[in-house]
Amino acid sequence: MFDTLKDYSILYSFDRSGYRRHARHFKPVDNRHIRDKRFLVTGGTSGIGASLAERLADNGARVTVTGRNRDKFERSSLAGKGIDFIELDMADFLDVTQSPLDRFDGLVCNAGGMPDQLKLVNDDYDLIFASQVIGHYLLIRRCIEQDLLPENAPIHITSSGGMYLQKLELDDLCWQEAPYDKVKSYANAKRAQVILNEELAHRYPGYTFSCSHPGWVGTDALREALPGFSERLGKRLRTNEEGADTIYWCLAQGPELPSGKFWFDREPRKTYPFFWTKESRMTRERLLALCETAWAEQQA
């Protein structure tokens, strides 16, 4: 009962104390679905993505990470662990659909970011929605359509607990009707990712889809985007390794993991704790139509 009350408080669930409390119930991870497998991790040069890549490599996987900046990769310790790098901008749809890719055994859509200034992509979306929703959809679709992933391969999307308070909004993705709000845009994109995880699991039953949120993690990206929040929480923020744990655990479950679920600290979680954040079926169809239109444009 005491643990349940702490989880309802959010603060004592999403912070590091929440992770440590939940971790008391964790069982050892069986690495048989990790060892000798090849994984692609977007946004893997720092933060949660880099920690995930290192843990995968440490347990016998061959890992490739993507990022926009090769120098950032070369300054990291990833290359020393045998991790490969592909320069890839998730907001460059041509790059996502045309850059050379090998065949992989699993895909992690982890690239994030919360730019201070509004940047538009193709006059259709802001940079956050373009890179984290449309770009990842195109990558997933490409890997499936081009047979770059085997049957039952895991496809994981890293979302955020910030989506809990956000209802999916698709009417002003370029922020022409309201002042740009990076926090709201980020939460909206993360809500869209959760919905796509569910929809794609139905559409592609031959793959194992999962989505998770990592809790409040003290990444460099968070400190840069929300310095006040980071300063207030300080040592209560989770480490990158703790933030990556559930992603790794989902991948390690292999095809035994129920497809299309949303996870936090290795447990399936509700995606709509507040009724006012629930979108209509029509809105879901609009999201899918946006993604499919972007895919069709890249095939023309």
The amino acid at residue 129 is F
Q: How many CA atoms lie within 13 A of 21 on its CB side?
A: 16
Exactly one of 186, 204, 207, 272 is catalytic; which is it?
186
State whether residue 186 is helix, strand or coil. helix
E-assigned strands of 139-298?
154-158, 208-212, 261-264, 267-268
Q: What are the distances in angstroms from CA 116 to CA 93, 101, 126?
A: 22, 31, 12
- Nearest one of 61, 159, 161, 148 to 96, comparing CA atoms: 148
Phi, then psi, of 282 in degrees rounded to 5: -60, -40
For this structure, is 125 an active site residue? no
- Nearest one of 219, 223, 272, 199 to 49, comparing CA atoms: 219
Phi, then psi, of 35 in degrees rounded to 5: -60, 130
Cα distance between residue 256 and residue 131, in whole Å: 30
From edge to edge, which strands make up the β-sheet containing 106-109? 84-87, 62-67, 38-41, 106-109, 154-158, 208-212, 261-264, 267-268
What is the gyration radius of the CA atoms in the chain, in angstroms?
A: 18
The residues annotated with a catalytic role in the active site are 186
